[in-house]
Amino acid sequence: MKKSQWNEYELIKLLQKLPEVEDKRSRSEVYHHVNNRSIRKRKQKKNWIPLFAATAALLLVAVLGASILNGESTDKKSPRSQFISMDQVEKQEDKKESNESDYNTEKAKENKAAVESDAMADEKETLNDEEDYASKAEANESDQAANREAVTIGVPDDQSNYIIPITVSSASASLAQALVEAMTNAKEEAWGLTDYYPLDITISDGAENNQIIIDLSEDSPLITLDSTFLAALQETVKYNQIESVVFTTNGQPGVSFSHAGMLKTLEISKFDKKAFLLYQLHETSRRFLAPSNISYDSITDALASLKEDPGIEGISPSVPQTIGWDNVREHKRTLEIDLSNDTRIDDTDETKTAIEAILFTAKDFGFEQVQLFNASINQVQELDLSAPITIPAAPNYIE
């Protein structure tokens, strides 16, 4: 842009030459006119604001509408991009927690059911094992009664301090007849025992199974000497599967004993919890296992007494001090014994007698088998120590 060539003086002169313009309106009219014009301008300016706001709102709606349409189009293509309200989120969270709670509850029920099922299975297995043991025991007793090969009688020792159960062979089908034969043919003096049999009694089979009837005369000496008689009777019948003895006097019910009083029926105890010691009258006499005169509270106490000397003539410990054990435990009807490391098992008669004393002591507590662990050898004569040893039906068998 070119610099103006006019100076201030020249401009004034030029303005003075312009024609004169005169405003014939009064001052008030001019002021009023100016004031009205300002008001109109303000009104016109304010009227544009709503229009502008409306226009902006329309534009915003158009933009948002396009965005929403694009969003819906995108949502149709990708379901995971849908908008979810806070209520929907809370509902979904509640549903999720409810599902998880239901799942945990159902899982807990399944676990509980599984545990109860396992417990019931274990209990059923245990009951089945016990039933098997019981059925086997009943079957063995039934077989022995049907095909009797041996019978046991209780014989007092030389001093009548102990009752020694003696088992002999028998072919009689009748238990009463087998007992009569065994008592009649007993060789007590040769065995180092008291000459006790036969007795002035009558024995007959009872009306029920596993029952015998014993009839005495009114003047029988056994009524006065009833302590030895009843003790011998107990050791006689307990090994022959007899559960009860019925007493009669000359055919009438009951016997009035001097010490035991009136007895009509004697229930037989199969498990007296006694310990089996060693009886031998002389060094050259036969050795027998003799049940103790006292009962023990536990199998551990009874086994410990097998190594103790009672201080009675003819009675000695049945287990030598060289045989010891560290632990004794019960497993169902098997007695498990952990032999000490310094225990030496030899294949001798003395060792066999010691093991048999342990077996019959366990039998008197209701056990059917004994297993010896940590034995130095696996065989002692006919006894197999590598497996549980089944306890024989009766002790002191004489062929």
What is the predicted pLDDT for the residue at 115? 47
In 3-state terms, the chain is what percent helix, strand and coil (to 5)? 45, 20, 35
Residues 177-201: what's their mean pLDDT? 95
Pick from 330, 326, 331: nearest CA to 343? 326
Predicted confidence (pLDDT) at residue 11 exceeds the cutoff of 90? no
As a whole number of angstroms, the distance between CA 209 and CA 82 comes to: 87
Structure tokens given for 349: 């008669």
Q: How far apart are CA 339 and CA 288, in angstroms?
A: 24
Q: How confident is the model at residue 172 (pLDDT cuts 50, 70, 90)?
A: confident
Question: Residue 359 class from Cβ within 10 Å (0-12 exposed, 13-18 middle, 19+ buried)?
Answer: buried
pTM reported for the whole predicted model: 0.64
Distance in angstroms (rounded) separating the CA atoms of residues 187 and 165: 13
- Please calculate the CA angle 381-238-373 and round it to the nearest 5 degrees: 35
- In sequence order, what are the residues at sequence separation of 6 or more whose Cβ sits closer than 8 angstroms to the Cβ of residue 148? 170, 171, 172, 173, 175, 178
Q: 252-253 and 244-249 as β-strands: parallel, antiparallel, unpaired?
A: antiparallel
pLDDT grade, residue 14 (50/70/90)?
Answer: low
Region for 241 from its dihedrals, namely left if φ exceeds 0, alpha if ψ lies in -120 to 50, beta otherwise: left
Model confidence pLDDT, tens digit, residues 133-153:
444 444 444 444 444 589 999
Q: How many residues appear in the chain?
A: 399
pLDDT at 295 over 90: yes
Write the burial class of residue 355 (CB in 10 Å: 0-12 exposed, 13-18 middle, 19+ buried): buried
Q: C-alpha distances in angstroms, 61 versus 55, 67, 69, 93, 390?
A: 10, 10, 12, 33, 99
Residue extents of the structural domains in the chain: 107-145, 150-267, 276-398
Amino acid identity for residue 73 in this structure: S
269 pLDDT exceeds 80? yes
Higher pLDDT, 81 or 196: 196
pLDDT of residue 134: 42
CB 397 within 8 A of CB 167: yes
Higher pLDDT, 31 or 224: 224
Residue 195's pLDDT is 96
Mean pLDDT of 186-201: 95
2 Rama class: left (phi>0) / alpha (psi -120 to 50) / beta = beta
DSSP 241: T
* Burial of residue 22 (number of CB atoms within 10 Å: 0-12, 13-18, 19+): exposed
Among 82-86, 219-223, 388-392, name the one with the lowest average pLDDT: 82-86
Q: Identify the CA nearest to 270 among candidates 309, 236, 246, 238.
A: 238
By the 8 A CB rule, do 392 and 357 touch? no
Average pLDDT, the chain: 79
Contacts of 296 (CB under 8 A, 6+ apart): 273, 274, 275, 302, 305
